[in-house]
């Protein structure tokens, strides 16, 4: 195993330094693990929702969701994660894994606000199952996660993906009404990563049909996502519609705005991320799970 996956890369170190937390951040050696321990394996086996990041043949990043009953995620051994479950057949994930084996996985329990990130190299079988060879495992704090409880499953309904190149009024309302999205970022050598972003509805601002403005709130000072973006500015976003099970996937490019005066318009934010949409895919049913909203994160202002 390369030590690269157990230490901060140059982008993370640079962002930590610019944010002024270089000496106050979490030590990589205490956060990153090379294997999945027994506690992680038990957590995985009980979960029903995961977000995955992947890269297509043109170097674009995508974020996807996959869900299923408890047990759809299984640690086959301390270095191998098996991912079954359901995702929409038009989700770009499997096609992307044929171009690049790098993948990031975020396994999250929205109700308990627990999450773990597992990154590595992935492959998939003809029936759509994914197997991840683990390179990096670590937990995250519960901040900004809106509590939702899984209350059952919905029937699978057929419906093709819909691709377009700009946000129309309906999709604009979807993005501006979201309180949760998942983010896929990557580093050319350290691999891909999937993370969670949350806020009160409206925390993601639609600037125009192809541009978003996203606040960056204070977290654990690891700066994994921003560190990746500082080196490789491509990113994938997926906005789940917890009411219908649909998702909106965006793939585009970012710019970190360190000193933008508009940050004051986003209570609690430390900096902003400008996002330019390059590709867009709406999946009519990407999640079979039914959710009930239980409350906003107490960390939100």
pTM: 0.95
Q: Which of 23-37, 51-65, 68-82, 154-168 has the lowest mean pLDDT?
A: 23-37
Q: Give the CATH number for residue 284.
A: 2.30.110.10
In a domain, 113, yes or no: yes
pLDDT of residue 26: 67
Measure the N-to-C terminal CA separation of the chain; round to a whole number of Å: 41
DSSP string, 209-252: TTEEEEEE---SS--HHHHHHHH--EEEEEEE-TTT--EEEEEE
- As for how many domains the chain has, the answer is 1
Q: Which residue has the higher pLDDT, 265 or 158?
A: 265
Across 176-198, average pLDDT: 96
Q: How far apart are alpha carbons 93 and 60 in whole angstroms? A: 12
Residues 6+ apart with CB under 8 A from 3: none
pLDDT tens for 128-152 read 999 999 999 999 888 999 999 999 9
CA 282 to chain centre: 17
95 contacts 48 by C-beta, under 8 angstroms: no
Instruction: Give residue 70's domain range.
Output: 3-295
pLDDT band at residue 27, thresholds of 50, 70 and 90? confident
Evaluate whether residue 301 is within a structural domain: no
Rounded percentage of the chain residues whose pLDDT exceeds 70 = 97
Band of residue 25 on the pLDDT scale cut at 50, 70, 90: low
Residue 232 lies in a domain: yes
List, for residues 258-299, the tens digit of each pLDDT value: 999 999 999 999 999 999 999 999 999 899 999 999 999 999
Instruction: Please give the mean pLDDT across all residues of the chain.
Output: 93
Residue 276's pLDDT is 98
Q: Considering just the CA atoms, what is the radius of gyration of the chain in Å?
A: 18
In a domain, residue 300? The reply is no
d(CA 174, CA 202): 10
Buried b (16+ CB within 10 A) or exposed e, 263-274: beebebbebbbb
Whether residue 51 is contained in a domain is answered as yes
**pLDDT for res 110:** 98
- Asked if residue 104 lies in contact with residue 52, where contact means CB atoms within 8 angstroms, the answer is yes
State the chain's maximal CA–CA distance in angstroms: 52
Contacts for 81 with CB less than 8 Å, ≥ 6 apart: 36, 44, 73, 74, 75, 105, 118, 120, 131, 132, 134
- Residue 152 forms part of a structural domain: yes
């Amino acid at each position: 195993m390369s030590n690269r996956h157990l230490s901060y890369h140059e982008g993370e170190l640079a962002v930590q330094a610019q944010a002024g937390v270089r000496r106050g951040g979490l030590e990589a050696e205490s956060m990153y693990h090379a294997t999945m321990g027994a506690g992680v394996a038990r957590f995985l086996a009980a979960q029903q929702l995961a977000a995955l990041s992947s890269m297509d043949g043109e170097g674009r990043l995508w974020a996807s969701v996959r869900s299923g009953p408890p047990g759809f995620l299984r640690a086959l051994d301390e270095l191998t994660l098996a991912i079954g479950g359901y995702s929409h057949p038009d989700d770009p994930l499997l096609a992307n894994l044929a171009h690049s084996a790098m993948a990031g996985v975020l396994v999250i329990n929205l109700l308990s606000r627990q999450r773990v990130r597992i990154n590595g190299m992935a492959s998939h079988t003809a029936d759509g199952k994914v197997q991840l060879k683990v390179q990096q495992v670590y937990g995250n704090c519960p901040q900004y996660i809106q509590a939702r409880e899984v209350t059952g499953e919905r029937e699978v309904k057929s419906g093709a993906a819909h691709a377009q190149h700009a946000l129309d009024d309906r999709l604009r309302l979807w993005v501006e009404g979201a309180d949760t999205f998942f983010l896929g970022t990557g580093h050319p050598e350290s691999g891909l990563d999937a993370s969670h972003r949350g806020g009160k509805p409206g925390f993601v601002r639609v600037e125009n049909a192809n541009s978003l403005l996203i606040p960056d709130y204070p977290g654990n000072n690891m700066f994994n996502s921003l560190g990746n973006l500082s080196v490789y500015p491509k990113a994938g976003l997926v906005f789940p519609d917890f009411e219908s099970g649909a998702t909106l996937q965006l793939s585009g490019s970012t710019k970190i705005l360190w000193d933008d005066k508009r940050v004051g318009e986003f209570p609690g934010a430390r900096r902003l991320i400008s996002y330019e949409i390059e590709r867009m895919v709406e999946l009519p049913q990407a999640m079979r799970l039914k959710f009930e909203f239980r409350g906003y994160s107490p960390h939100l202002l």
